[in-house]
Amino acid sequence: MPSVALKLYSVFFKFVFKHRLQNLIQSSNDESSSPYGVTTRPEESVSASNPSFTDGVATKDIHIDPFTALSIRIFLPDSSLSPPEQPDSKAKPRSYQKDDPNSHNHRRSSYGPPNVGAPRNDSRRSSLEGLNLRSDNNAYRGYSPSPRNCRKLPVVLQFHGGVWVSGSNDSVANDYFCRRIAKLCDVIVVAVGYRLAPENKYPAAFEDGLKVLNWLAKQANLAECSKSLGNGARGVGSEFTKAEFQRHFVDAFGSSMVEPWLAAHGDPSRCVLLGVSCGANIADYVARKAVEAGKLLDPVKVVAQVLMYPFFIGNVPTQSEIKLANSYFYDKAMCLLAWKLFLTKEEFSLDHPAANPLIPDRGPPLKFMPPTLTVVAEHDWMRDRAIAYSEALRKVNVDAPVLEYKDAVHEFATLDMLLKTPQAEACAEDIAIWVKKYISLRGHEFSY
């Protein structure tokens, strides 16, 4: 069972959050919605971006849509500055044994295929020699790193939780979680600051998620265009070096045109979607749209998605919805209140496509969905429907394991007070083990 301290904090959390919801209801009745919207609440603590690698990950914020509040935060691990790794044919992966007393085998049970893991990500000190750095504070600009030091890393699009009405991509808790994922998975994390309800109701958050995926595709194409123009300029005897030409290209068209970190280090052909709570609903929607778009998204390819305790609900209650209705932190009553703030009165339904992934005629066919890892908590009232969705994917031969964590609550791995618990750390490691199966350039050496 959860600790006494956790139970007391849950009571306090519910009291405060219910008060915030009531204020939002009042404000939604008094004010008309604005298409620009908001991506964070004044009462939430945020973490400032830091473009230097002081803790192994550099971050920057970008406002990518001039017409809305949509923004992103990029998390770049310092491993991106290391020379590209060469596959070692003699290297053998270490297995992740569930009967090993040091493997945290007490923390979760799994559904689907058995898992074999990967070694932890090594903590490396990257050489900054030859890179374009500002001499004042070593803030990484990333315009033209030395080719011998340039590494292309997979990209993880991350969507935060907060039951549609709270949370942000730059909150202290989300910043900490994204840094952890960036280092463990050795990836670039792009945290999406989508518009919140009730200022922007459905489908604003979903459209923002898809807009960022399309933005990522445009960035990849612009970077390739910049590279081609740079090669062409040098080929006709220009006095500019390739690095100078690329920087000139960026300066001439605006830094918002070509994002240097992604251009230098991002590999959009290995894109993973990761959603937390209601963010998992957005991730699943974006994955469906990516399947429908097909090659129109090239060179972006969604190779997998991770759904962490998704906000899946429906009209017909499951056993967990009945038994755990008054569960810890985000109970059923509060979630449904937030759901009403997210939808308009005319389209309010628990079987809305944004909430129930198993309603009939919701395209595309499940067999075309990417591999999907689902994380659920024992004391989460929404757990049964998430498991049911995973089972439906497995029935059509999609790799869709479920990790269920014992004595865990909703958002146990992403809530501020729980981020440094052994369960939260174990969850992040388990996610990294599975994700590496689909982003590794060495093939499926990290099997699950």
Residues classed as catalytic: 277, 380, 410
Phi/psi for 57 (5° steps) reads -140, 130
Burial 184-212 (b: 16+ CB within 10 A, else e): bbbbbbbbbbbbbbbbbbbbbbbbbbbbb
Nearest-10 crossing angle of helices 4-30, 332-342: 30
- Amino acid making up residue 150: C
Distance, in Å, from the CA atom of 222 to the CA atom of 227, rounded to the nearest integer, reads: 9
Distance, in Å, from the CA atom of 445 to the CA atom of 438, rounded to the nearest integer, reads: 10
Distance, in Å, from the CA atom of 300 to the CA atom of 308, rounded to the nearest integer, reads: 23
Distance, in Å, from the CA atom of 179 to the CA atom of 362, rounded to the nearest integer, reads: 34
143 and 132 in contact (C-beta within 8 Å)? yes
What the block records as the tokens of 230 is 């740079």
307 and 375 in contact (C-beta within 8 Å)? yes
264 and 143 in contact (C-beta within 8 Å)? yes
What the block records as the tokens of 389 is 């969705």
Residue 374: which H helix or E strand, with range? strand 372-377
> What's the alpha-carbon Rg for the chain, to the nearest Å?
22
